[in-house]
Amino acid sequence: MAAVRKPAAAGKNVILGRVSGVFGVKGWVKVWSFTDPPDRLLDHKLWSLNVPGQGWQNVEIDAGQRHDKGLVVHLAGCDDRDLARRFVQAEIAVPEAELPRLPEGEFYWHQLEGLKVFAATEPQALLLGEVSHLLETGANDVLVVQPCEGSIDDRERMLPWVDGKVILGVDLSVGEIRVDWDPSF
């Protein structure tokens, strides 16, 4: 479906990961990447970090590599474990314009979050709610649809992303997803 698994929008930046801990004694940090593959995050040498209690800061990455299920990264000028510790739990963002262009019919998750979801029923479509977030399950991704103003009820729904079967169409220009989904589910 998408080249990036879980990013959420932050202004014109897109969240692509989170600093999860420190690594070693020379200022390296552990990073949980939301990109697919995870090391795609290393393609971006300049990051904006939302440092807890300090806000957004721009940093340069001077080294990084895969490690276990995540990444380890060295931030330029951060050569001490104690200095690196202040970045733990910081969100990592890059400008949306730097994301690779996707083929027709593919979307980044942040583009889908907030879209209205309509069940394609006759004689008119029914508003099920809006996309709150997405989940990766292994078999297929899942849209988590929360009720919103005008939705048919107050139920949360989880819809599998199955192109052409459940997902009938996405129109980013009007902010809608059409689905083949029984509204009673």
Start and end residues for every CATH 2.40.30.60 domain found in the chain: 9-97
CATH 2.30.30.240 segments of the chain:
113-179
pLDDT at 169: 94
pLDDT at 122: 76
Q: Are 145 and 117 in contact (CB under 8 A)?
A: yes
What gap in Å lies between CA 4 and CA 107, rounded to an integer?
9
What class does CATH assign to 9-97?
mainly beta
The values of phi and psi at residue 122, to 5°, are -100, 145
Residue 128 in tokens:
């099920």
75: its two tokens: 């931030």
pLDDT confidence of residue 138? 81
Per-residue pLDDT, 185: 86
Query: What does the pLDDT read at residue 11?
Result: 52
Residue 126 is encoded by which pair of tokens? 């029914």
What is the rounded distance in angstroms from the CA atom of residue 162 to the CA atom of residue 1? 9
Length of the chain: 185
Tokens of 114: 């907030």
User: Do the beta carbons of residue 42 and residue 75 sit within 8 Å?
Assistant: no
Distance CA 134, CA 111 (A): 11
CATH class, 113-179 region = mainly beta
Contact yes or no for 49/87 (Cβ under 8 A)? yes
The pLDDT tens digits along the chain (185 residues) read: 333 334 444 458 999 999 999 999 999 999 999 988 899 999 999 999 999 999 999 999 999 999 988 999 999 999 999 999 999 999 999 998 888 888 988 898 889 999 999 999 878 899 999 999 998 888 889 999 999 999 999 999 999 999 999 999 999 999 999 999 998 88
